[in-house]
Amino acid sequence: MAQQVIIKVDNLVKKFGNFTANDNLTFEVFKGEIFGFLGANGAGKTTALRILCGLSSPTSGQVEVAGFDVYKQTNKIKMNIGYMSQKFSLYEDLTVRENIRFFAGIYGLSRKIIRERTDELLNKLNIEELGDKLISSLPLGWKQKLSFSIAIFHRPQIVFLDEPTGGVDPITRRQFWDMIYDASNDGITVFVTTHYMDEAEYCNRVSIMVDGRIEALDTPETLKKTYNAKNMNEVFLMLARK
C-alpha cells in the first residue's frame, strides 16, 4: 500500500540576502509518521520549520503541508497543524483549563466540544485535580505534557514539536515519547526536532541537515548501517562535524 504523503517539499530554497538558509530541500513526510528533523545549531532547521508552519514564505520551490500550498494557503495550514516548542508553551498566569479554552478557542472549537474534550484530557492524564491550578504552579514535566496535549487538542493532521523535551528529567522524557507514539497511532503526523540523539532512534525516519542541506534521510536502522555506526549519535557526529 502506498503511504499517503502529508508534507511535500520540492526544491525549497530560502535566502536571507546573500545567505542561503535552506539550500534546495526535497523530501516527503508520510501520514502518521514520526519524522525526526535533526541538524546542528544554525543548519537551517528553524527556517524550514517556520516555512512548513506557514509563518514564512520560501524564496523558491514547491511546498505543500496537509494538502495546502505554503505560498497561498497559510491560514488553512495553520488550522490543520499543531505546534509546540520548549520556549513557548503555555500562559503561566492562566489555569490549566483556561489555557485549554484559550488555545482551543483560537482554533474555533465550540464551547461544548472544548468542555467535553477538556474533561476527557484531564481524565486521561489523570490530573482532574489540577484543572484549576495556575500553570506556573506545575512542575516542568507536567507543563510539557500539557503543552503537547493542547497542541493536538484541535486534532490537527500534523504536529510540529521544536525541542519538546529540552531540560526535562529522563523519566518524564520517556513518558513524553509515549504520548508521541499515541498521537502517531491516532494518525497524527509528528514532526520533531531534538538534541537528544537517543530520541532520534524513536523516530520512524530521520533527516539530518548540514549547512542548509539535507545530508541524510532514512530510517535510523538504515542510517546506522550506511554510516557503519553504533548509534544515531555517531551518525550525527560523522555528518554534522565537517
Q: Which residues bind other proteins (CB under 8 A)?
A: 39-43, 86, 139-141, 163, 166-172, 174, 177, 181, 195-198, 201-202, 220-221, 224, 231-233, 236-237, 240-241
Q: Of 105 and 167, which has the nearer Cβ to other proteins?
A: 167
Q: Of 109 and 203, which has the nearer Cβ to other proteins?
A: 203
Q: Of 125 and 238, which has the nearer Cβ to other proteins?
A: 238
Q: Of 131 and 166, which has the nearer Cβ to other proteins?
A: 166
- CA torsion angle 200 203 205 208 (round to 10): -20
Least CB distance from residue 106 to other proteins, whole Å? 27
Least CB distance from residue 209 to other proteins, whole Å? 10
Least CB distance from residue 66 to other proteins, whole Å? 25
Q: At which residue does the C-alpha cell 481524565 appear?
A: 123
Distance CA 158, CA 161 (A): 10
> CB neighbours of 59 closer than 8 A, spacing ≥ 6?
13, 14, 15
Least CB distance from residue 88 to other proteins, whole Å? 14
Q: Of 42 and 187, which has the nearer Cβ to other proteins?
A: 42
Least CB distance from residue 48 to other proteins, whole Å? 15
CA distances in angstroms from 61 to 30, 48, 148, listed in the order given: 19, 12, 31
Its sign, for the CA torsion 16, 21, 25, 31, is negative
Least CB distance from residue 39 to other proteins, whole Å? 7
Q: Of 27 and 196, which has the nearer Cβ to other proteins?
A: 196
Q: Of 169 and 186, which has the nearer Cβ to other proteins?
A: 169
> CB neighbours of 233 closer than 8 A, spacing ≥ 6?
197, 198
Report residue 24 CA to chain centroid gap: 21
- Please, where are the H alpha helices in the chain? 45-52, 74-80, 96-106, 111-124, 140-151, 170-185, 197-200, 220-226, 232-240
CA distance from start to end of the chain: 39
Distance CA 138, CA 134 (A): 7
Least CB distance from residue 163 to other proteins, whole Å? 7
